[in-house]
Amino acid sequence: MAEAGGKYLGSFSLGLRGALEYRANFVFSLLGAVAPVVIQTALWTCLYAPGSGAGSSGDRLFGFTYAQMLGYVVVANIVSRLVRTGFEYDLNDDIKSGGLDRFLVKPIDYFGFRMAQFAGAKSAETAFMGLTLAIALVVLSAATGFSASHLAALGFVAALALAFFLNFLVFWCVGLLGFWLAEIGFLFEAARIVIITASGGIFPLSVFGPSVGSALAVLPFRFTIQFPTDVLCGRVAGADLAWGLAAAAAWSGLLLVLARAIWAAGLRRFVALGS
């Protein structure tokens, strides 16, 4: 008999092959990642420019020098791309159109399947974005003197893995609302914008001021983009890094329990109502 765990490895592989099937779409989605970086770099260059009110390029804005801000923008954009979901549309479609049926009759856990398939679909993009990140860091290093220690790089990988899982769980929970709401496509887009903003994916959270910043600090979202970015940029290290990783893991555990509970309730409703 084949290994029971093989079904999730198979799901991963299916996701990867599915992502590679449409090569043009794959390339365009990667190119789409470049535009926000260019726009934000231009924006911050203007804001830091002498005479803009922010002072000379050596001055700080929201606690960041110009070089730090550029480093943040580039890394945060790549991180947000790496953790970005998309499976929630499939999840919602399965609930709405009854496609979930095909999984219910099979000996496979739906959460495990979607997670593995999504990770597989993401892996090709992750490899490419990893390469992009490496090139970006070399360019940043030459242009702004950016540097990242080996420890920061290791911490970044751990923080990124947790961020990926955490973001998956956040959107999984949002997607599960499809069990109760007939049309939630709009909710996904609204949630994505709010969550990316609250994660520090557009600006560092310090831009929002101390009160909003401290409110956002108690939420899990910052662990999906800002935290890994800060780790790589060297703004979080040592005990703060360990503490942050533990907090991200704790949030993941909590959301996993929540996701399981929502799934169980939703599935009861789905099976009770029929599709």
Residues that bind another protein (CB under 8 A): 1-4, 6-7, 9-11, 14, 17-18, 21-22, 98-99, 101-102, 104-108, 271-275
Q: Which is nearer to another protein, 119 or 148 (CB)?
A: 119
Q: Which C-beta is closer to another protein: that of 17 or that of 60?
A: 17
To another protein, the closest distance from the beta carbon of 108 in angstroms equals: 5
Q: Which is nearer to another protein, 60 or 269 (CB)?
A: 269
3-state secondary structure of 61: strand
Task: Quote the tokens at residue 167.
Answer: 């973001």
Q: Cβ neighbours of residue 85 under 8 Å, at least 6 residues apart?
A: 118, 167, 168, 171
By C-beta, is 218 or 272 nearer to another protein? 272
| Smallest distance, another protein to C-beta of residue 177, A | 19
> Cβ 270 to another protein, closest distance in Å?
9
- In the complex, the smallest distance separating the C-beta of residue 206 from another protein, rounded to whole angstroms, is 43
Phi, psi (5° rounding) for residue 55?
90, -170
Please state the closest distance from residue 98 (CB atom) to another protein, in A.
7
Whichever of 154 and 271 has its CB closer to another protein, that residue is 271
| 101 or 240: CB nearest another protein | 101
Q: In terms of Cα–Cα distance, which of 71, 89, 81, 2 is closest to 34?
A: 81
| CA proximity to 159, closest of 208, 108, 223 | 223
Alpha-carbon distance values, 1 to 6, 10, 104, 112, 143 (Å): 11, 15, 22, 20, 56
**115 CB-near residues (< 8 Å, 6+ apart):** 8, 168
Q: Encoding tokens for residue 60?
A: 């700080």
Q: What's the min distance (Å) between Cβ of 269 and another protein?
A: 10
DSSP notation for 69-109 = HHHHHHHHHHHHHHH---HHHHHHHHHHHSTTHHHHTTTS-
Output the CA–CA distances (angstroms, integers) from residue 131 to 30, 41, 135, 187, in the order listed.
12, 20, 6, 33
**Shortest approach of another protein to residue 271 CB, angstroms?**
5
* Cβ proximity to another protein, 21 vs 183, nearer residue: 21
